Structure 1
Amino acid sequence: MGMSLNYITDAIAAQMPAVDPNRPAVALGNEPALSWLELRAAELRYARALQQAGVRKGDRVGLLLRNCTDYIALYLAIGRVGAIAVRLNWRLTAPELLFALDDSDPGVLVFDPEFGATLAGIRDDIAVTTYVARGDSGSLDGAVPLAEFAAEDSDATGFPVVSAEDPVSLMYSSGTTGRPKGALFSHGNALWIGSIQAQRWRIGSETVSQTSGPLFHAGGFEVLLLPALTSHGTAITFPSGNFTLENFLDVADRHGATDVLLYPFMLFDLLRGDEDIIERVPQTLRRIVTGGDIVMPWVYDELENRLPGVELVQSYSLTEGGAVSTSLEFDRARGHESSIGTPQAMTEIKVVRPDGSRTAVGEVGEICVRSGGVSIGYWNRPDADRATFINGWCHSGDLGSVDAEGFLTIAGRAKDMYRSGGENVYPAEIEMVLTGHPDVADAAVIGVPDQRYVEVGAALVVATEGSSLDIEELRGWLGERLAKYKVPKHFYVVGELPRNANGKVLKNVLRDTYGQTTTTETDT
C-alpha cells in the first residue's frame, strides 16, 4: 500500500526523525513560524472538522486561499481524511472559477473572505454545501468562520486508512490551450516528488526553504517546500501579491533561509540590482532554485561575482510531469549554461519525433517524462489522458534536444515554434540571446504572419532601468549572434511581459495582442 502524507506529522509525533518537534515547521512571510507540534495540531483539528462535515475518502475539498500556513495544514488534513484538495487559482474570473468548481464538484470550500463576492455570484450553479471562511464570513451568507468550523482539538484516531495510491491533489491548468484540465496526483506522487528533490539537493531537517510563488501551483508548493516538509525541515511561503525583492530577502533573512526559489525574471532583477539588494541576501543562503523560463548564460558569471558561495540550480518541470524532471546544478553548469540539466534520480527523459521515434543527438523533438511523480491522470478527461499519458510516458508539449552527454536543452513549447522561410525557429533560443544584451531586462518572441516568409518573429523587449534601448542597434547585435532567419522582423518595447503565477510568459496573450501585426516596428 505504501506510505501516505500522514507520515509528515505522524513521524514527528512518533519522534522518528532526529528533529526537535518545537522546531519551526512552516511560516508565512515575517509572521512567527508554527512549530512541528503546532502544525500537527492544526492538521488534526482541520481533519476532524472535515470528517464531521461529512467529507469522506475520495471527496473533493476546494481551497481558494492566498498563501498562508493554514493552506499547508489544510492540505495535510485533506490528505488525512483521504479526500482530494482542489487547489484553486484565486486569480481566476468568476466564469473560470465556476468551471473548475463545477468540474471538480467539491462539497466543502475553504476561502479567503475577499473572494466571497465572487462566490456569491456563482453559488447557485455549483454543488458546494459547506463554505468555510478563513476569517470574517460576512462576505458570503451562510459561511462558517474557520476558527468556528475547526474549534476542537483532535487526536489521530478514527481516520480512514490512506495508501500511496489514493489521490490527494487536483491542480488545474491555465487553459491556454483550451478547456482547463485538472491534473490529479496521489499521496505516492507527492512523497516521491519531495523525496527525489531532497536526495538531489541534500535537503534535510536543517533546511529552511522559501518560495515566491502561490501554493496553488507546483512551483509554489511542490518545489522546495514539499521536500522541506517531507525531510522535516522548515517551509517558508511568501505572502501573495505585491512581491518585491526587498521584502522577499527580508523574510529570508528573518527565518535564515538556506534555499530559495526565484523565477528567472526575479533572479535577473537580483543580479542586476544595486548593492543594497545584494547586501540584503542572508548569510545563510546556499542555493537559489529557478525554473519556468530559461536562465541566460550571463547569470552564472554574475552570480559568482556578486554572490560567491551561493549555487544556482536550474530546473525543468511541468505540472503533469511531477514538479521537477531535470535540473542543472552549479558545479556541472559550465559548458552547459544553456541546458536545463539531466534527469532527477529515478526519472527518465526522452525526446521524440511526431511519429514517436526517438530523435538523434541534438535533434529537436517533443520532451517526454517518466517517473514516480508523473500525474496519475486528468480529472474526468479520458481524451486528454490518451493524448498526454502514453505507455507510462507524459508527453509535455515542450520541444527540446539531448546532447551527447545527456544534457537536455529546451527549445520552447511546440505551439510556440514557428516556420520562417521554410526553417523551424525556436523562440527560446532567440530569447536567450536577447536577454544577454545589457539594455534588455526581459524578452519574449512570438511568430506572426508575413506575406513573404509565411511567418516571422516579433520580439517584445523590456528595457533595463535607465537605458535608452536602440532597436536598430539591437537588431544588428542579434545579427552578429544568430542566423538571419532567426532575427525578429518586428520589435516592441514594452513595460513588462504578462506572466502566470508560475512566472511563465503568457505567449497566448502576446499573440492575441501582437500576433496579426506586420507593419509597426516599435511600440514605445
Structure 2
Amino acid sequence: MSTSPVQPVHVAAAEQPLSRRRHWNNQVRRHASMTPDRPALRYLGRTVTWKELHQRASALAQTLYLRGVRHGDRVLITMLNRPEYLEALLAITATGAIAVPVNIRMSPAEAVFIATDVGAKAVITDQLMSELAATVATETSGIEFVIGTGGARQGQIDYERVIGDAVGDLPEIDVPDESVAMILYTSGTTGRPKGAMITHANLNAISMAFMDSLSYRRGDVVSVAVPLFHIGGIASVLPQLYFGGTSVIHPLGEFDADRTLETFQNERTTWVFLVPAQWQTLTEAQLERPRELALRILCWGAAPASDALLRSMMTAFPDAETVAVFGQTESTGFACYLDGEHSLSKLGSVGIPTSSVEVKIVDDQMNEVATGEVGEIVFRGPTVMAGYWQRSNASEEVFAGGWLHSGDLGRQDEDGFVYIVDRKKDMIISGGENVYCAEVENAIMDHPAVAEIAVIGRSDERWGEVAVAVAVLEDGMQLGIDDLVNFLRPRLARYKHPKDLVVVDQMPRNASNKIRKNVLRESYGRTGFRPEPHPRVTTGSLL
C-alpha cells in the first residue's frame, strides 16, 4: 500500500454535467448552496451543516480520485456510526465508485472474504475499526491504501489531513442513474454472504417512497439509531440527504434505552426506525419514566414484532403513529408498509405495497394464490436491487419469473394487506399440517416468562416433524413444557404446540444479530434429542 502524498492536479470538467441527475451528491450540493448553515447532521452534541458536509465529502472525494479511484471501483467502509460515515458514502459515490459497507460485527475472515469478493481498491475506517481494516488490507492483495479517521494507524492515511490538504475541485463526473452506488452484503443464516447491488436509481426511488408511504415530512428530525452498515440505517438517513432535513446520528455500542430517550428529547426527534428488540427496551424505559418527546413516527421492521410489543408501544408513546415496514436489503429497505391508521385494525400485518412496488403471493410454479392462501411473497419495482455481485446463478434464482423472491411465506387479505407467515424454509409439516414458526413464536412471546424465542422443526417418526421451542427466559423466571402448552392451548391449534422446550442462556446470532436457526437445528433438532435438565425448567419433553 502506498501512503506517499499525492500532488493535486486540475482536471477539466466532464462535458456532460451531472446536475440533471437526482443523486444524493447533487442533493447535498444543492442544500449546501441553498441552506448552507442549516444542520445536516447532529452527533453527540456536534453540528455538521450542509455546507460543511458538502465541503468535507468533496475533499475526501478529491483524495480518492487523485489516488486512482474511478467509476466502478469498490471502496470498503469499516466504521461505527459517525458523521464521517456519511462523508465517506458521499465521497466514494461522487467519483462514480461503489461503497461497500462492512458489518463491524464480522470476524476478520468474513471481512477479508468481502474485500476479496468485491476486489476492493481502498478502505476507509475509524480508530476502533482500524485493526480490522489493517488485517483486511494485509490479507487482500488488491487494496492500495487505507484512510483512517480518529487517529490513523501506521501505514494508514490520516482522514482529517486529507480533508484539510485538499486543493482544487473534483471534476464533474456524470454517474448514470443505473450505476451501482453500494454493494450491501446480506449475511443470511446459512452459507456465504452475497452482495446486493444497490443503484442510484434504487436510492432515489426509496427516498420518494418515504415521502409517499412512511409519513415523512420535510422538517422532520430523524434519529439514526441503527447501524449505518445496514440498509435500515442507510434508508433512515436517505430522505434527509434528499430533502434537506436534520439527521441525528447515534453512536453504536450496547443499546441504552435511557440514553436513547434522552437524545430523542434533547434533539426533538420526530421520526425513528428501530428493530423490535430495541423498541422492547425503549418502551419499558419510557413506561417506567415517561419523557416529554416530540416523536411523531415510530417505525419498526427487520424482524417480527409480537402483538404484545405493538400494544406496549402504543401505550408508551400515545401521541406517535406506529408504522411497520417489510422488505429486505435486496429491495433497498422496504416494499410494504402498515400505517398508523391501520395499526390496530390490521394488527399483525406488514401492510400494503408502496405505490411503486408490485407484490404477489405465489406458489412454487409462480401462480398467484387465492386471497387468504399462503404462498411466497415476490415483488418488483424501482427499489429492487440490480442483482448479486458476481453471483449470476443466485441472481437468476432470486429473480425467477422476473420477480424478486423474498423467501418469505405470507398471505394477503381481501383488502390487499400482507401478513408474514414464516420464512419459506422454516415451515414445519407436522402430520400433514403446515406449522409456521413465526405464528408459534408470536404466541409464545406473550408468555411473561419468555424473553426470546425461536421455534425449529425436528424429524419425528409419527408426525414427520414436530415443533421444538428454544427459549431464553426472563431473569428469575421458570417455565416448563406443560405450563407452556397450557398457555398455548387457547391460542393455537394443538398440532402447532411445541413438543419440547429447550431453555438456553443466550441465542446464537450472526453478524446482523439474527438468530442462527441452523445452529439451533444442529444442536436441538436431531432425531431422538432430549433436553438436558436445566435449573429453570420445571418439566421436560411431551414426547
Output the TM-score relative to the length of structure 1. Answer: 0.92
Deviation at 1:499, TM superposition (A): 4.3
Distance change (3 Å), C-alpha of 1:188 and 1:395: same
Residue correspondence of structure 1 range 95-134 to structure 2 within 5 A: 95-122=109-136, 123-134=138-149
Q: Are 1:221 and 2:240 an aligned pair?
A: no
Deviations 1:451-485 (A, max 9, x none): 32232111122334554445422221112211111
| 1:33 alignment partner, SS class | strand
2:225 to 201, 207, 212: 212
Q: Are 1:168 and 2:178 an aligned pair?
A: no
Q: Are 1:32 and 2:46 an aligned pair?
A: yes
CA–CA distance in structure 1, aligned partners of residues 140 and 116 of structure 2? 8
Deviations 1:78-113 (A, max 9, x none): 111111001111211122111100111111111223
Equivalence for 1:361: 371
Q: Is the 1:326–1:342 Cα contact (8 Å) retained in structure 2?
A: yes
Distance change (3 Å), C-alpha of 1:192 and 1:431: same
Deviation at 1:351, TM superposition (A): 1.1
Distance change (3 Å), C-alpha of 1:125 and 1:163: closer
Output the TM-score relative to the length of structure 2. Answer: 0.89
CA–CA distance in structure 2, aligned partners of residues 9 and 231 of structure 1? 9
| 2:314 alignment partner, SS class | helix
CA–CA distance in structure 1, aligned partners of residues 405 and 179 of structure 2? 23
Equivalence for 2:93: 79
Q: Are 1:12 and 2:22 an aligned pair?
A: no
| 2:425 alignment partner, SS class | coil
Deviation at 1:75, TM superposition (A): 0.2
| 1:151 alignment partner, SS class | helix
Q: Are 1:149 and 2:162 an aligned pair?
A: yes
Q: Are 1:260 and 2:275 an aligned pair?
A: no
| 2:346 alignment partner, SS class | coil
Q: Are 1:420 and 2:420 an aligned pair?
A: no
1:519 to 514, 523, 530: 530
Q: Return the letter of the residue paired with 1:475.
A: V
Deviations 1:371-398 (A, max 9, x none): 2111011111111110012354211111
Residue correspondence of structure 1 range 231-270 to structure 2 within 5 A: 231-270=243-282
- Percentage of matched positions with identical amino acids: 33
CA–CA distance in structure 2, aligned partners of residues 229 and 500 of structure 1? 30
2:447 to 437, 449, 454: 437
Q: Return the letter of the residue paired with 2:320.
A: V
Distance change (3 Å), C-alpha of 1:259 and 1:266: same
Equivalence for 2:69: 55
Deviation at 1:175, TM superposition (A): 4.6
Q: Return the letter of the residue paired with 2:148.
A: A
Q: Return the letter of the residue paired with 2:529.
A: T
| 2:263 alignment partner, SS class | helix
CA–CA distance in structure 1, aligned partners of residues 165 and 172 of structure 2? 16
Q: Is the 1:425–1:486 Cα contact (8 Å) retained in structure 2?
A: yes
Residue correspondence of structure 1 range 452-463 to structure 2 within 5 A: 452-463=462-473
How many pairs align? 514
CA–CA distance in structure 1, aligned partners of residues 501 and 524 of structure 2? 10
Q: What is the root-mean-square deviation of aligned Cα atoms in Å?
A: 2.1
Distance change (3 Å), C-alpha of 1:403 and 1:522: farther
Residue correspondence of structure 1 range 316-465 to structure 2 within 5 A: 316-465=326-475
1:158 to 165, 168, 171: 171
Q: Are 1:485 and 2:495 an aligned pair?
A: yes
Q: Return the letter of the residue paired with 1:180.
A: P
Deviation at 1:273, TM superposition (A): 4.2
Q: Are 1:203 and 2:216 an aligned pair?
A: yes
Q: Return the letter of the residue paired with 1:151.
A: G
Runs of 4+ more than 6 Å apart: none
Distance change (3 Å), C-alpha of 1:429 and 1:286: same
Q: Return the letter of the residue paired with 1:170.
A: I
| 2:76 alignment partner, SS class | strand
CA–CA distance in structure 2, aligned partners of residues 389 and 450 of structure 1? 35
Q: Is the 2:258–2:285 Cα contact (8 Å) retained in structure 1?
A: no
Q: Return the letter of the residue paired with 1:12.
A: H
CA–CA distance in structure 1, aligned partners of residues 383 and 246 of structure 2? 22
CA–CA distance in structure 1, aligned partners of residues 114 and 404 of structure 2? 23
Which one is further off, 294-303 or 182-191?
Answer: 294-303
CA–CA distance in structure 1, aligned partners of residues 393 and 495 of structure 2? 37
1:177 to 171, 185, 190: 190
Q: Return the letter of the residue paired with 1:253.
A: Q
Which one is further off, 296-305 or 243-252?
Answer: 296-305
Equivalence for 1:293: 303
Which one is further off, 342-351 or 387-396?
Answer: 387-396
Deviation at 1:300, TM superposition (A): 4.0
| 1:240 alignment partner, SS class | coil
Unaligned stretches of 5+ in structure 1? none
Q: Is the 2:209–2:355 Cα contact (8 Å) retained in structure 1?
A: yes
Q: Is the 2:371–2:413 Cα contact (8 Å) retained in structure 1?
A: yes
Which one is further off, 197-206 or 473-482?
Answer: 197-206
